[in-house]
Structure 1
């Protein structure tokens, strides 16, 4: 099971959008996936069509974590039932296309451990060392999933550190802008400091560029700046600023099943990123 935290210490960079795009790619590839929504705002849960029932959310599990307890709140996303339109099938499911995940008896697996304000009690700067084990404990033994995507809050809180402690990889989301580059530096510096303070380090990290506009000289400059700062940690390909992404999210629909050439392009990019994460 690969556990990946999607993180940023700057809000508004499309962190949850990246989580959703990767979840869509995993669904398309038939990779059994759990999305853990650690953000108290619960935006990823909303877009995945899941609303937390009282006491059935991530925050409630983390109050008294037990091994594998996250399974008790995992809810099937309606995304698994959304049809693939003939237009999408004709353009993306070409002859010879095969999913590369492990098929399961119950069909495509995309579950959500929904977020809510109940996790706010851990969204603060102070924490005890044992708090960092809460999420790792709750995810222990969930072998039904090949991938766990964690949507972190946009703060350096106990929740964020808890996610990093449980993860095999941390992806920092950056927009190609001055302030976002600075925010990415803060995120990666905080991650390095966090690794130095623990017995074991996060095995892998990367920077994923989101909302890129190809015709912008300023954005191209910022992408080069990120590449100069982080080298091979910058994920290829970058993710475009495509209205199709917002349209699909507004409809609570996987972008891989959204019609149009723009959706096809961004879907292909998310799938490429996912394959790089899983191999």
Structure 2
């Protein structure tokens, strides 16, 4: 099982859209996937249209027992290949800036309980995607403690480099302090407008700063993203030219992610 934290320390860059695109690509290729919605806005949960649960991520973080975890996970509206550990607005109250080592490890402990459920006959996941909030509190740090790899999302904007640098520093800090298996998968540039000289310049700036960590292809700015989320459908299910372009990009990004986190 590959566990990937998808993060950005700047809001509004389309981090959840990247999580959903990766989940869509995984479903298309038969990789059973769990999306863990750590963002109190719960956009991933809404877009995945899950069935009802008797618990949420907030309950799991408070009491990371096997029974609570099982009660917080349900199949998504996309079908049997994508499950959701559903988010809740209440997780915002748990997002302490300095939570301590014990509480930072609760998400990792809960996902470890999921491994034990597999031992009792549950089907394993090939990929776990941790959708982090755009802040560096307990929720994002818990994801980094639980993850094998970190995927950082940005957009081609003025403060893009500094935002990714702060995210990279956060990854390095958790690797040094709590999770020595954590590594940086790369930087995803999202919402790139074709034929925009400003965006071309910013992408070049990011490439100069991060080199091979900047992943290709960049993700184009396409209305198909909003259409897919509004329909609670995977991007691969849409048939427009923009959707097909994005689907191909997410297929490539998934391949890189899975290769980086075997």
Unaligned runs of 5+ in 1: 81-107
SS in 1 for 2:185: strand
Q: Which moved more, 1:161-170 or 1:212-221?
A: 212-221
- Other-structure match for 1:27: 27
Instruction: Determine the structure 2 residue equivalent to 1:185.
Output: 165
The aligned residue for residue 38 of structure 1 is 38
Q: How many equivalent residue pairs?
A: 251
The secondary structure found in structure 2 opposite 1:208 is: strand
Post-superposition CA distance 1:106-128 (Å, at most 9, x none): xx421001101121232120211
| Offset, 1:195 | 2.1
Structure 1 residue 181: Cα displacement:
2.6
| Structure 2 CA distance for aligned equivalents of residues 251 and 231 of structure 1 | 36
Query: Which blocks of at least 5 consecutive residues in structure 2 are unaligned?
Result: 119-123
SS at match of 1:274: helix
* Offset, 1:69: 4.9
Change (3 A) 1:51 1:125: farther
Higher relative contact order (CA 8 A, sep 6+): 1
Partner of 2:188: 208
Asked if structure 2 preserves the Cα contact closer than 8 Å seen for 1:21 and 1:270, the reply is: yes
Which runs of structure 2 are paired with 1:106-121 in the superposition (5 Å)?
A: 108-121=80-93
Residue 77 of structure 1: aligned partner? 76
TM-score, structure 1 length as denominator?
Answer: 0.86
Structure 2 CA distance, aligned partners of 1:157 and 1:127?
Answer: 8
Which segment drifts farther, 172-181 or 3-12? 172-181
Deviation track 1:62-92 (CA, whole Å, cap 9, x = no partner) reads 1011258533311111112xxxxxxxxxxxx
Question: Normalized against structure 2, the TM-score is what?
Answer: 0.91
Give the drift of 1:237: 1.1
RMSD of aligned residue pairs (Cα, Å): 1.6
The structure 1 segments of at least 4 consecutive aligned residues displaced by more than 3 Å after TM superposition are none
Task: Confirm whether residue 6 of structure 1 aligns to residue 6 of structure 2.
Answer: yes
Greater CA drift, 194-203 or 35-44: 194-203
Structure 1 position 206, deviation (Å): 1.2
1:67–1:137 contact (8 Å) kept in structure 2: no
What pairs with 1:70-149 in structure 2 (closer than 5 Å)?
A: 70-80=69-79, 108-140=80-112, 141=115, 143=118, 144-149=124-129
Asked if 2 retains the 8 angstrom alpha-carbon contact of 1:52 and 1:115, the reply is: no
